[in-house]
């Protein structure tokens, strides 16, 4: 520890936290992962269950994380050390920092693909394609080229590093405030285009009219896991962002806005994708390739599609960037405060390590056989990282955070923290019940289900 702690930044305004935390939450999770999971899990019913979980589990856990952050004014590791000194709880923070590195690595590879696709689309790679099969080939070729993959990855990590290096108010807050409205504007533009396509009604039905007969146990688990991933919970992102909040801020309203915006953007992303998808006669269950294979083939058949497509991938990169800023910030805040490095050194060091960690994921698109089909696991390295850290590690992190606030730190002390800036805190009793019982039990169920579906 050193006096960097005394020089910690603070959000300049209430909007600063909401913009940055929404920026963290809104990302590839909303625009790429949410639509493809919705497609695979039967459409509207999944959307309905997902929203239920955001409200019942995501919201209380986010409030817990933010209150830990503001109370301790520390990075995740420092926060647990402060609230439970000389215990093993700090390992929950350490798991968060490790998850931050790991998620940043594979996430940046996908973001790098999006970055590359801005240029692919703009320079007309999809202008003459007729079928989704052709776009699949183009993506396969693109993802298996190690030079372009690594180049896009490094460019993305470089920009990300520069923003984080600028620090809390200068970098993160200003960028999020500018980028988020552009994102919303572009998405609404895409929705309008999508809904005016011939045959879009069928897609709208699929997305809005629930068919509960397709719901299984794994639908629930996918929805719950997606809620954590999308809300950036379980690795201390919200502890870190909450640590830059002032005592005057109302945590309940700030967290409500973040959950609302995140859910809204995911919902709007689906509204942009499904009507167009059905209009083009494509199947909704395309899987993780959805964005890179299906979207370009949709745009290739729309007048002006080159520009719509380019706009879409710019949007995807913007959304990813405001999420990776938060991933890197967790790691950087930890290195500065616990290891005493300067912000510059911490940012450069963490970015280089993330780049090295990302190389196997970047090569998992085809060139190196070992990384395309891992022994035992069977899948490629990127999806391995996504499963282990995006699902397992975040779920374990959320479980421990809920147990910590519910039972170790205590809901009463946490509530006192929340009452700063919100003296009445009306839903106190409900929140106590959710964080002590509902969240830990539900998260335990996800973990058990993940283990069951992976090994049996
Ligand atoms: N929530 C981000 C998204 O939806 C991903 C993320 C997960 C960011 C965990 C930070 C921490 O894209």
Q: Is the CB of 263 under 6 A from ligand 1?
A: no
Q: Tell me how far apart the alpha carbons of residues 64 and 79 are, in angstroms, rounded to a whole number.
A: 12
State pTM to two decimals.
0.91
**Probe target for ligand 1 pocket from 20, 23, 29, with the most ligand atoms within 8 Å of CB:** 29
Q: Tell me how far apart the alpha carbons of residues 222 and 245 are, in angstroms, rounded to a whole number.
A: 32
**Atom 9 in ligand 1: which residue has the minimum CA distance?**
232
Q: How far is the CA of 28 from the centre of ligand 1 (A)?
A: 8
Helix 146-165 and helix 343-362: axis angle, to 10°?
A: 160
Q: Tell me how far apart the alpha carbons of residues 260 and 182 are, in angstroms, rounded to a whole number.
A: 18
Q: Tell me how far apart the alpha carbons of residues 347 and 163 are, in angstroms, rounded to a whole number.
A: 10
Q: How far is the CA of 202 from the centre of ligand 1 (A)?
A: 30
Location of structure tokens 């083939």: 297
Q: Tell me how far apart the alpha carbons of residues 410 and 415 are, in angstroms, rounded to a whole number.
A: 9
Would you state the pLDDT for residue 168? 65
Q: Is the CB of 25 under 6 A from ligand 1?
A: yes
Q: How far is the CA of 186 from the centre of ligand 1 (A)?
A: 20
Q: How far is the CA of 196 from the centre of ligand 1 (A)?
A: 31
Q: Is the CB of 73 under 6 A from ligand 1?
A: no
Dihedral Cα 116, 141, 294, 384, nearest 10 deg: -80
Domain ranges of the chain: 3-455
Atom of ligand 1 nearest to the CA of 262: 4
Q: Tell me how far apart the alpha carbons of residues 201 and 274 are, in angstroms, rounded to a whole number.
A: 9
Buried b (16+ CB within 10 A) or exposed e, 329-338: bbbbbbbbbb
Would you state the pLDDT for residue 136? 80
CATH number for the segment(s) 3-455: 1.10.4160
Atom of ligand 1 nearest to the CA of 30: 4
Q: Is the CB of 230 under 6 A from ligand 1?
A: yes
Q: Is the CB of 323 under 6 A from ligand 1?
A: yes
DSSP 59: H
Atom of ligand 1 nearest to the CA of 320: 12
DSSP string covering 146-208: HHHHHHHHHHHHHHHHHHHHT-IIIIIIHHHHHHHHHHHHHHHHHHHHHHTSTT-HHHHHHHH
**Atom 6 in ligand 1: which residue has the minimum CA distance?**
232
Q: What is the mean pLDDT of each run of 10 residues along the chain (456 residues)?
A: 51 80 92 87 93 94 97 96 97 96 94 95 87 82 91 96 81 70 80 85 94 80 87 95 90 96 94 86 77 77 82 86 92 94 96 96 76 76 83 88 97 95 86 96 82 71
Would you state the pLDDT for residue 343? 93
Q: Is the CB of 58 under 6 A from ligand 1?
A: no
């Amino acid at each position: 520890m050193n006096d960097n702690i005394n020089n910690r930044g603070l959000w300049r305004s209430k909007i600063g936290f909401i913009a940055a935390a929404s920026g963290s939450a809104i990302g590839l999770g909303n625009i790429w992962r949410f639509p493809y999971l919705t497609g695979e899990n039967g459409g509207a019913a999944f959307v309905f269950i997902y929203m239920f979980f955001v409200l019942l589990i995501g919201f209380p856990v986010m409030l817990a994380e933010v209150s830990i952050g503001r109370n301790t004014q520390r990075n995740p590791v420092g926060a647990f050390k402060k609230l439970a000194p000389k215990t093993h709880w700090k390992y929950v923070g350490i798991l968060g920092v490790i998850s931050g590195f790991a998620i940043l690595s594979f996430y940046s590879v996908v973001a790098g693909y999006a970055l590359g696709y801005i240029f692919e689309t703009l320079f007309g790679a999809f202008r003459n394609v007729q079928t989704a099969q052709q776009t699949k080939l183009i993506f396969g070729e693109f993802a298996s080229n190690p030079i372009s993959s690594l180049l896009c990855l490094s460019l993305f990590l470089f920009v990300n590093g520069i923003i984080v290096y600028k620090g809390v108010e200068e970098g993160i807050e200003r960028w999020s405030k500018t980028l988020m409205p552009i994102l919303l504007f572009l998405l609404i533009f895409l929705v309008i285009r999508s809904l005016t396509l011939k045959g879009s009604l069928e897609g709208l039905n699929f997305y809005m009219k629930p068919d509960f007969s397709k719901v299984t146990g794994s639908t629930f688990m996918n929805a719950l896991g997606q809620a954590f991933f999308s809300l950036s919970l379980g690795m201390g992102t919200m502890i870190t962002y909450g640590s830059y909040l002032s005592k005057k801020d109302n945590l309940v309203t700030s967290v409500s806005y973040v959950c609302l915006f995140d859910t809204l953007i995911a919902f709007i992303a689906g509204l942009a994708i499904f009507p167009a998808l059905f209009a083009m006669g494509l199947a909704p269950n395309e899987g993780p390739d959805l964005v890179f294979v299906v979207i370009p083939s949709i745009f290739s058949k729309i007048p002006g599609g080159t520009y719509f497509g380019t706009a879409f991938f710019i949007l995807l990169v913007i959304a990813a960037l405001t999420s990776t800023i938060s991933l890197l910030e967790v790691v950087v805040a930890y290195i500065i405060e616990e290891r005493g490095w300067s912000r510059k050194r911490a940012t450069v060091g963490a970015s280089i390590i993330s780049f090295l960690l990302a190389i196997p994921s970047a090569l998992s698109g085809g060139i190196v056989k070992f990384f395309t089909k891992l022994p035992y696991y069977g899948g490629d390295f990127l999806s391995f990282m996504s499963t282990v850290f995006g699902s397992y590690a975040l779920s374990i992190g959320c479980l421990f955070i809920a147990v910590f606030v519910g039972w170790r730190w205590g809901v009463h002390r946490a509530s006192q923290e929340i009452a700063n800036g919100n003296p009445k805190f009306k839903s106190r009793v409900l929140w106590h019940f959710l964080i002590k019982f509902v969240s830990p039990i539900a998260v335990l169920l996800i973990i058990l289900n993940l283990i069951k579906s992976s090994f049996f």
